[in-house]
Amino acid sequence: MIQGIGTNYNLGYMPSMSTAPVNTSVYDPSYGYKQMISMRINSLNAKVMSQISSLTQLMNYQGLKPEERDALQKQIDKLKEFLEKIPTIQKILEGKINYPSAEEMTEYESSAKDVIESSAQHVTSLIEKLKKRAEKASQAEPSENSDESSYTPEISEEAKKDFDKKLKNNKSKALDIIQDIYSGSLGNTWGTDYKKIRKGTAKINKDNVADVIIYWEEQFASTKGKSIIKALFDEEHMWNPSLHGKDQNKLNDNNKANNMDMLWNMSVCLKQKAKELDLYNDLAGQFTILFDELDDTFVDQEAVEEAMKTIAATIYQKQAEKLAEDVQKASENKVSKEQKAEEAKKETEAKDLFIADMREIWDDEDLEISGKVKYEDGEFKVRINGEEYTGSSFKALAKAVEDAGYDPRIYLSKQKVDTKA
């Protein structure tokens, strides 16, 4: 589950968020400088906020020990404290501070890099611990006394077979999509084959988008060093001509030669699935970063990649949990139906034997079992004057009724009861 927390932070280029409004009706010789500084300020703030959002998401992981959670909170507090110290466009517009100089911005960026990398190193170490703990838990039987919480589906052996089968099928479908995208991008010797890429991305939807992102990581990230997001970004320049003002809930297919559309659509699919799984509120910060960046003219690719990977990892985990619950429920329903069918069969056989014995012993082929006689938990029962009498067979119940001073013919035979009435 613990994926999407990046450790590489490149502050060398200047991706942009919104820049400060400038009154262009009046000539301002410092306009270009202010625009450049505004871009750097927004990029700086976005990187710190992105790291805070990633750490906050990690705080939701149930497998953290109290001391690990406390240490993680300290990292978040440290980042928030740093965030308060750096300049923002809002502070400039309110007249609280002036535009910082290029030298001052370089110092802020250098400090941000140190703070973020320190935080990332802590997270990397923590994630390694969590991975080892999860691997250890998956290899051992769950212990009732264990104080370590990790996702281990508590499902029956029969349900586990169905779970593995469905998971394997989902992976196979995702790998088919991945193969097309890879063949058109990283695997294409002669450049970019958009038809191949589109053949794969056209099949991505809310139900498989997380699988595609996660399984690409499994297949190619270690050997090629690129996530599927980075691979698609590399087929395009940072310039983004087609996504301004798009509806975050709708797919975009205006520009078929622009991979930004593909990433946008993957993001929309992630949002649809997050809402379906009731995860959207937990991931709202990541989605804000994701769509804000994709909507900018110059896209912060690293921020988009971080957000998409974090969201996909969370959705993938939740999907696996839900799949385990669904197959377990289906298995239980199947077992329940089989048990009910078996119990009904046993009851029918027991009643047939009860009637056969009654007719033979009382020498009357027209006798039927009385409605007062019930069959529960492998025994026949009849209630007489507030007392319940039981027996595993006709003979046993007839004897119990007779020993209590009653005529079993009256209470066990429908014919006799009807005659008396």
pLDDT tens-digit map of 116-138 = 888 888 877 877 777 666 556 54
**Cα 305 from Cα 308, distance rounded (Å):** 5
pLDDT over 50 at 1, yes or no = no
The predicted-structure confidence for 359-386, as pLDDT tens digits, reads as follows 999 999 988 999 899 998 889 999 999 8
Mark 131-157 as b/e (b = at least 16 C-beta within 10 Å). eeebeebeeeeeeeeeeeebbeeebee
**Cα 44 from Cα 17, distance rounded (Å):** 10
**Cα 235 from Cα 84, distance rounded (Å):** 37
Contact (CB, 8 A) for 347 and 354: no
Quote the DSSP letter at residue 236: S
Give me the chain's average pLDDT, please.
Answer: 77
Binned at pLDDT 50, 70 and 90, residue 249 comes out as low
**Cα 52 from Cα 58, distance rounded (Å):** 10
Q: Which residues pair with 358 in a beta bridge?
A: none
With tokens 């009637």, the residue in question is 355
The predicted-structure confidence for 257-287, as pLDDT tens digits, reads as follows 444 678 888 999 999 999 999 998 888 888 8
pLDDT over 60 at 417, yes or no = no
The pLDDT, as a whole number, for residue 212 is: 93
Instruction: Give the percent of the chain with pLDDT over 70.
Output: 76
